[in-house]
Structure 1
Amino acid sequence: MLFEDIMSGGKGGHKGGHPVDPVPTVIPDPVTYERAGGDGFRTLWVIFVIFIASAALFSLQAWRIPVSRRVYHVLTTVITIVGALSYFAMASGSASALNCHSVTDHHNKVPNTHHDVCRQVFWSRYVDWAITTPLLLVELGLLAGLDGAHIAMAVFADLVMVFSGLFSALGEKHTSQTWGWFTIAVIAYIFVIWHIAVEGSMVVKARGERLTKLFGSLAGFILILWAIYPIIWGIAQGGHRMSVDAEIITYAVLDMLTKVVFGFWILISNRQIPETIAEVGGWWSHGLNTNPEGRIRIGNGGEA
């Protein structure tokens, strides 16, 4: 019997008048890579430039006011500088890793096969969030007049949220590990809302109606945008339903709103509404020198 007859169902390839189906072949698919493309990298470079320009502008504005009133300016400048460094790292291709997982391919009448899907994860994005999001919470806490305990707990919950997202992004996909970390991040975010939005809205009322409205607007703006981040993560990193380029563009828009737009908003309000000014003296304004005039006391007697 010839092999060709078997494959073609010819004279020697059937029994009882029934042709034999072609012999199926099972060839595993190669590895599938999900990486950033041209649109993604162009977006990263554009956002880097915007962050650099914003940081320069915020820094120049800081020089026009006394040191004791520069708290928001310093924090906002640091936030945009860190964002610029993060986007430069991503745009230059030096801050990402491939997270691979196995996917099962189901076939008809033949054994299932498996192939790997490797998606690019920009871990520098999580480093950025671990530094900048606590600073944003400090700004909101100072604006509301929150005590240090609530601000510290909000910052701690925020760090738990960010690192849980990182562990989930780099962990094994479609397992309890991935969605376990994701659940922890969501719970931590609820604690952030409690300490900043709930407690802050109660404390800020004592500082006047204008400041209460401003805090409500800024806190709502930040916390609503932050709620979109895990949704994007679930669609992109968790569900692989979004391309890496689309993920980059979406996160870039969110980062622009939460860092640059928020920064301009709070600094403009700081200039227009006197109640927003957080004036800090002591070490912040004068350093460790307890004698601001620069005079040196000698013993118990006079001055030099």
Structure 2
Amino acid sequence: MPFTQLAGATAAAKALAPTACTTIEEIGSTGIGGLTLGFLALTVTTVVMVAKAANADPERRKYYFCNTFICGIATFAYFAMLSGQGWTAISGCRQFFYAHYVDWLLTTPLIILNLGLIAGQDYVTIAAVCGADVLMIISGYMASVSVVTTVKWFWYLFGIGMFLPIIYSLARTFRETVIMRKDPEIMELYGKVAWLTIIIWCFYPIVWLFSQGFASFSVSFETVAITIMDVIAKCVFSFMIIAAHDALGPTQQTAHSREYV
């Protein structure tokens, strides 16, 4: 009886094991073009952020440093993908760029940190939201590389379960902190960058659904879509913060008190 059970378990494991791929659905010229444009946009933004951080006062420099590493890490990830690195073949013989997940694992917490700094949120809450974000990215990666369909969708649901409190925190918890500061310029800035982030981030699980999930999107279409979202979520986000340079400085009350220190 135990031998029969062992044989059955072995047969089930073999049935679930991925078959060797004779051909792999890889990125095409359109996708490579998208990666190239994304790399250039992120590189330029990184250089601008470095220049702004070097010339900014300490009060504003923290925002520009966050933007520098957000775009800089993404630049490295896009260079790796353009160089033929940072990918593997997953179930369904489809090219999967895990470099995206390395990028997101590092940059999305920095985006949350930057939003938290703008809002004036306490660091414990920021850390909690960043923790949920890390679990979300890990869940998305595990869903992408899972062989068993049921396991794949459970990982996807775990990721969505982490995603919802992140969106709630950015739309409600951080916003309430901004309102309590009673600074109209900061309220306007936070409203713009937070909703930009929320809207763009909502498209990521949708793209995953029709690419890694149902395999309805080609690898090139998926890559272009992710590149567009990354450029908006990182480059546009960074330049919106630069545009609010005056609002990010010390308040008039703080500046007045420093004159007598």
TM (norm. structure 1) is 0.72
Looking at structure 1, the residues matched to 167 and 156 of structure 2 have their Cα atoms a distance apart, in angstroms, of 17
- The one-letter code matched in structure 2 to 1:257 is I
- Alignment of 1:143 with 2:111, yes or no, is no
Residue pair 1:151, 1:195 contacting (<8 A) in 2 also:
no
- Alignment of 1:209 with 2:184, yes or no, is yes
**RCO greater where, 1 or 2, for CA within 8 Å and sep 6 or more?**
2
Looking at structure 2, the residues matched to 146 and 95 of structure 1 have their Cα atoms a distance apart, in angstroms, of 35
Superposition RMSD in Å = 1.6
Name 1:59's counterpart in structure 2.
50
- The one-letter code matched in structure 1 to 2:167 is I
Name 2:109's counterpart in structure 1.
134
C-alpha displacement at 1:32, in angstroms? 5.1
Bigger helix fraction: 2
Query: Deviations for 1:220-243, whole angstroms, at most 9, x for unmatched residues?
Result: 110111010000000011000000
Alignment of 1:76-95 (within 5 A): 76-95=67-86
Structure of larger gyration radius: 1
- Alignment of 1:159 with 2:166, yes or no, is no
Looking at structure 2, the residues matched to 65 and 246 of structure 1 have their Cα atoms a distance apart, in angstroms, of 39
Aligned partner of residue 98 in structure 1, secondary structure = strand
- The one-letter code matched in structure 2 to 1:132 is T
C-alpha displacement at 1:61, in angstroms? 1.5
**Greater than 3 Å deviation, 4+ residue runs:** none
Looking at structure 1, the residues matched to 44 and 71 of structure 2 have their Cα atoms a distance apart, in angstroms, of 9
Name 1:180's counterpart in structure 2.
154
Looking at structure 2, the residues matched to 41 and 220 of structure 1 have their Cα atoms a distance apart, in angstroms, of 29
Sequence identity percentage: 30
C-alpha displacement at 1:40, in angstroms? 1.1
Structure 1 unpaired stretches of 5+ = 1-29, 101-116, 280-304
Aligned partner of residue 55 in structure 2, secondary structure = coil
C-alpha displacement at 1:216, in angstroms? 1.8
Alignment of 1:261-300 (within 5 A): 261-269=236-244, 271-273=245-247, 276-277=248-249
Query: Deviations for 1:199-257, whole angstroms, at most 9, x for unmatched residues?
Result: 11111112223322321221111011101000000001100000000001000000000
Residue pair 2:59, 2:249 contacting (<8 A) in 1 also:
no
Query: Deviations for 1:111-139, whole angstroms, at most 9, x for unmatched residues?
Result: xxxxxx30011001000000000000001
Alignment size in residue pairs:
230
- The one-letter code matched in structure 2 to 1:141 is G
Structure 2 unpaired stretches of 5+ = 1-20, 252-261
Name 1:297's counterpart in structure 2.
none
C-alpha displacement at 1:47, in angstroms? 1.4
Instruction: Point out the more displaced range, 160-169 or 192-201.
Output: 192-201
Name 2:5's counterpart in structure 1.
none
